Structure 1
Amino acid sequence: MKVTVVGAGNVGATVAECVARMDIVQNIALIDINAGVAQGKALDLMESAPIHGFDTVIEGGDDYSITADSDVTVITAGLPRKPGMSRDDLLKVNSDIVSSVTQQVAKHSPNTIIIVVSNPLDVMTYVAYMESGFPSERVMGMAGVLDTARYRAFLKMETGASVRDINAMLLGGHGDSMTPLPRFTTIGSQPVTDLISESRLDEIIERTKKGGGEIVKLMGTSAWYAPGAGAAEMVEAIIKDSNRILPAAAWVTGQYGLEDMFIGVPVRLGKGGVKEVVELDLNDKEKADMKASGDHVREVIGAYKNLSA
């Protein structure tokens, strides 16, 4: 089995490290426009193999020939957010990058499964889908795993509970329009609404929505540890054919009242990519929040189409 990571920046290098340490594939190709950076990070990771105990071989460069016949490809290429920028501000420059990258990916690995991490996430996943010509089940975006991880981390900070006992799900677009689902959040066997007041839970949800921006403000650039680990978790589910249910930006065809877009929904992941979009029984408020999130995603897709017309 083989995985390609496009983009050897902080996020891409973290994806490569996490997947390598899982020791679930024979090869990882790390591609970057700067060949030296990709080669250097690949070599650095290889030199950590004896310490971590993995046998995965990692190769870096700028020639897509080393990516040939990859089973899964993670696209992290693109400019990161800077202070004052929204994900949508990155639309033009990153759509050009993702478009070009996807063409190369599809050329060298026509049967690969694509996971997009580049922002604005939902629309960049749409770009990869259109440029690859792949069936929708083989293209998805990593956002929900990250958003849910942030939510669970904040709940741990609030309650002191183990993250292993915190189960949660967030839907919708990546960013401020995401749809929180407190009704589906439990700590142990207890509903979170029994443990945290509504007002405090609203504050935690709001922090989750702006979690990426909080880190950008602190560091001056986007996060990488959690996004990288989130993408690696999706890779693992696909490679192992584990049928895990994870939130991902997937193509919807009427589920949740939405269609013809990529948006965060629970999916069953395994061999072949998205095996199923899982529909939760939402209440009226949750349905309204999901529709509003879908309206925002459709608006940004429209902006992308206008740019590329």
Structure 2
Amino acid sequence: MVKVTVCGAAGGIGQPLSLILKQSSKISHLSLYDIVNTPGVAADLSHINTQSKVTGHVGNDQLKDAIIGSDVVVIPAGVPRKPGMTRDDLFKINASIVRDLATAAAKYAPKAFMCIISNPVNSTVPIVAEVFKKYNVYDPRRIFGVTTLDIVRASTFIGELIGAEPSTVACKVVGGHSGHTILPLISQVPGYPKLTQDQLEKVTHRIQFGGDEVVKAKNGAGSATLSMAYAGARFALNLIDAAFYGKQLVECTYVQLDSDKQGAQDTRRIIGNELEYFSVPVALGPNGVESILPIGTLSPFEQGLFSKAVTELKGNIAKGTNFVAESKL
């Protein structure tokens, strides 16, 4: 019996994400929360002939009922990025939303696995962690920044270049979840030597800034909602399989490196000790983060990408932690 709560379930990511989760036989209760329209979304999904019960909860008065006793809490809530909007602009709006949802989770589902999709992930994951610390329920193994869309894009874009079926292309993507902090390790992908330096630089940039491509194509009407819903559901379902059904699975995800100090030593060797959070390959299991796996060998090109990413990430993380320190909970 696994209860999953989706916070932001009526939004552009939340609705398709909830649709994908409703199809899983591993979820017994799908609890949908948003500030508007959730009962209608829940009623719609409840007609799908799969076993999970669907409940809809709307507004602050129903947040406790939505989240209490949850095993997994997925948070895609927040405003989407619009043309010309930076992730800093997003932060000002979404930070308060994530803080308040994290507060509810800390109170009513402190053992839940937290899957954070709300942008900017580099900062919102530290917000959730700091809230859990304030309520004395913090376990770094159970809080995840969902960076799976970067892996999905890497598989797609690299597959197109090397003539491989995208679903068979496995490319680690480490670092963070915005622009230059996204670090695809293309040198570790079989078929990589086929790429020229120009192709390598262009596909790396496309993976890093794929979100801009979608925002531009939608011409102000939205951001990467469908692909993000797919990626978010993939991560949540893999986490459920690993945590509750005994499957051995590895995903790259943005976590607190102290969730496995021993395993993080390889990452620390490359990035130093300044960063608390980094997206790394993680073996998932009953505790969430069972172990952090090595990043592996980097090419000279990839090594050059890291220094810029580390500097940017440091500022992103500080922004999230400082936000909670200055908040009244």
Q: State the TM-score, normalized to the length of structure 2.
A: 0.84
* Mapped contact 2:67–2:104 kept (Cα < 8 A): no
Counterpart in the other structure of 1:301 = 317
Aligned with residue 168 of structure 1, among 148, 168, 171:
171
Counterpart in the other structure of 2:98 = 98
Report the Cα distance in structure 2 between the residues aligned to 1:151 and 1:20, rounded to whole angstroms: 27
Q: Secondary structure at the match of 1:240?
A: helix
* Mapped contact 2:155–2:167 kept (Cα < 8 A): no
Aligned length: 297
Aligned with residue 186 of structure 2, among 182, 188, 197:
182
Counterpart in the other structure of 2:261 = none
What stretches of structure 2 of length at least 5 have no aligned partner? Answer: 259-263
Aligned with residue 153 of structure 2, among 145, 150, 154:
150
- Deviation (angstroms), 1:304: 4.0
Counterpart in the other structure of 1:249 = 254
Q: Secondary structure at the match of 1:290?
A: helix
- Deviation (angstroms), 1:299: 0.9
Query: Given residue 113 of structure 2, which amino acid in structure 1 is its aligned partner?
Result: I
- Deviation (angstroms), 1:180: 2.2
- Deviation (angstroms), 1:159: 4.1
Counterpart in the other structure of 1:33 = 35
Counterpart in the other structure of 1:199 = 198
Query: Given residue 182 of structure 1, which amino acid in structure 2 is its aligned partner?
Result: I
Q: Secondary structure at the match of 1:201?
A: helix
Report the Cα distance in structure 2 between the residues aligned to 1:160 and 1:196, rounded to whole angstroms: 11
Q: Secondary structure at the match of 2:231?
A: helix
Report the Cα distance in structure 2 between the residues aligned to 1:159 and 1:269, rounded to whole angstroms: 30
- Deviation (angstroms), 1:95: 1.0
Matches within 5 A, 1:1-309: 1-8=2-9, 9-34=11-36, 37-47=37-47, 49-50=48-49, 54-62=50-58, 63-64=62-63, 65-133=65-133, 134-143=138-147, 145-177=148-180, 178-186=182-190, 191-193=191-193, 195-219=194-218, 220=220, 221-241=222-242, 242-253=247-258, 255=265, 256-257=267-268, 258-259=272-273, 260-283=275-298, 285=300, 286-305=302-321, 307=323, 309=326
Distance 1:305 1:236, change over 3 A: closer
Q: Secondary structure at the match of 1:10?
A: coil
What stretches of structure 1 of length at least 5 have no aligned partner? Answer: none
* Mapped contact 1:123–1:262 kept (Cα < 8 A): no
Distance 1:162 1:284, change over 3 A: closer
Report the Cα distance in structure 2 between the residues aligned to 1:303 and 1:73, rounded to whole angstroms: 23
Q: Secondary structure at the match of 1:268?
A: strand
Report the Cα distance in structure 2 between the residues aligned to 1:291 and 1:277, rounded to whole angstroms: 21
Query: Given residue 231 of structure 1, which amino acid in structure 2 is its aligned partner?
Result: G
- Deviation (angstroms), 1:272: 2.2
Comparing 72-81 with 59-68, which one deviates more in the overlay? 59-68
- Deviation (angstroms), 1:149: 0.6
**CA deviation profile, 1:132-159 (whole Å, cap 9, x unmatched):** 232100101001x110111111123334
Q: Secondary structure at the match of 2:178?
A: coil
Report the Cα distance in structure 2 between the residues aligned to 1:292 and 1:137, rounded to whole angstroms: 27
Report the Cα distance in structure 1 between the residues aligned to 2:131 and 2:5, rounded to whole angstroms: 18
* Mapped contact 2:171–2:184 kept (Cα < 8 A): no
Query: Given residue 57 of structure 1, which amino acid in structure 2 is its aligned partner?
Result: K
Report the Cα distance in structure 1 between the residues aligned to 2:287 and 2:117, rounded to whole angstroms: 19
* Mapped contact 1:234–1:269 kept (Cα < 8 A): no
- Deviation (angstroms), 1:284: 7.0
Distance 1:292 1:282, change over 3 A: farther
Report the Cα distance in structure 1 between the residues aligned to 2:192 and 2:200, rounded to whole angstroms: 8
- Deviation (angstroms), 1:66: 3.0
Identity %: 27
* Mapped contact 1:4–1:28 kept (Cα < 8 A): yes
* Mapped contact 2:112–2:142 kept (Cα < 8 A): yes
**CA deviation profile, 1:164-209 (whole Å, cap 9, x unmatched):** 32111111111212112112112xxxx322x332211221111111
Q: State the TM-score, normalized to the length of structure 1.
A: 0.90
Runs (4+) of structure 1 exceeding 6 A deviation are: none
